[in-house]
Amino acid sequence: MTVELLGDGPDRVARLGGVAPVGPAVSWCPPGIAGWQPVSAYLVRRGTSAVLVDTGVGLHTDQVVAQLHELLAPGTRLSVVLTRTEMECCLNLPAIERELAVDQVWYTGGITVPVTHAAARRITVEAGTPQDVEVAPGITLRLYTPLLRLLPVLWVGDPVSRTLLTSDSFSHLLTDAEGHALPYDAATLRAFHDLKFGWIADAVVAEDIAAIADDVRRVLGDDWAALGPTYGAPVVGRDAVRTQGADLVAYLEGVGRRAA
């Protein structure tokens, strides 16, 4: 079973999951857009340790479990980091625990506690102050709380592979049915973020929108080689990351001008 590898260095970060159709019947898909959208979990490996960032959706349960069996050697110690405690992030946790030993589950926020037999590790990360956390033996990840959010969320950076996992941001890149990325259009980025974060213009003053844009610029300035969202195709390559980051900042600055 083929999996996609991300970032610098061989076999460090792998994308797990599959694709799902999007179009007029899907509430988070902007009008006039149709295609296929990856829904992803990401596996970070080092020796006999591994970290699964999010768990995928029920549509892909069997696929995610099979990919984990393919990628993990017997005896590997697995931890889970949830970028959000929402269904597309934690729904497959019970199925994974039936098949594999999970040591601990990291999550943020206090509204929903993930259902797990592993040690549940709640973590609070202040916006603007990322934390380096050893979430599994020998694997230290950099956890961010982005200002671009509605509910509690983590962005998860792997400093070794230079891969940043961005949860529900950068979720605009579509694919064909086989998962091959379609050409990028900045208008699609704006359309998806308008639908997901359109409340910002009505609920946040212009100065705070500028702070959100500055936060994105600061985090994306850390020389990432790949971005991995929960929804949408990954952004691969430093030039592509810079382009997507600049387009998101430009979008937010435009929202700020409209709100002023």
pLDDT digits (tens, 9 = 90+) for 168-207: 999 999 998 888 888 888 899 989 988 888 777 776 676 7
Map tokens 């996992």 to a residue.
165
Q: In what order do the strands lie in the sheet with 139-144?
A: 131-136, 139-144, 155-158, 163-167, 226-229, 235-236
Q: Which two tokens stand for residue 191?
A: 């359309």
Q: Radius of gyration of the chain from Cα atoms? A: 17
Say whether pLDDT at 2 is over 60: no
Round to whole Å and give the CA distance between 245 and 148.
Answer: 13
What pLDDT is recorded for position 11?
77
Round to whole Å and give the CA distance between 259 and 135.
Answer: 40
Could you give the 3-state DSSP secondary structure of residue 79? strand
User: Between the CA atoms of 143, 145, 146 and 148, what dihedral angle is there, to the nearest 10 degrees?
Assistant: 140
Round to whole Å and give the CA distance between 167 and 169.
Answer: 6
β-pair type (77-81, 49-53)? parallel
What pLDDT is recorded for position 113?
67
- Domain region containing 195: 4-259
Write the CB contacts of 114 (distance below 8 Å, at least 6 apart in sequence): 82, 85, 90, 93, 105, 107, 120
Q: What is the DSSP string of 174-212?
A: -B-TT-PBPPP-HHHHHHHHHHHHTHHHHHS-HHHHHHH
Write the CB contacts of 254 (distance below 8 Å, at least 6 apart in sequence): none
Could you give the 3-state DSSP secondary structure of residue 167? strand
Confidence label for 1 from pLDDT (cuts 50, 70 and 90): very low
Mean pLDDT to the nearest integer, 142-149: 94
pLDDT digits (tens, 9 = 90+) for 75-92: 898 999 999 998 889 989
Residues in the chain: 260
Confidence label for 259 from pLDDT (cuts 50, 70 and 90): low
Mean pLDDT score across all residues of the chain: 90
pTM: 0.93
CATH number at residue 71: 3.60.15.10
pLDDT digits (tens, 9 = 90+) for 210-234: 899 999 999 998 899 999 999 999 9
Round to whole Å and give the CA distance between 92 and 110.
Answer: 20
Number of structural domains (the chain) is: 1
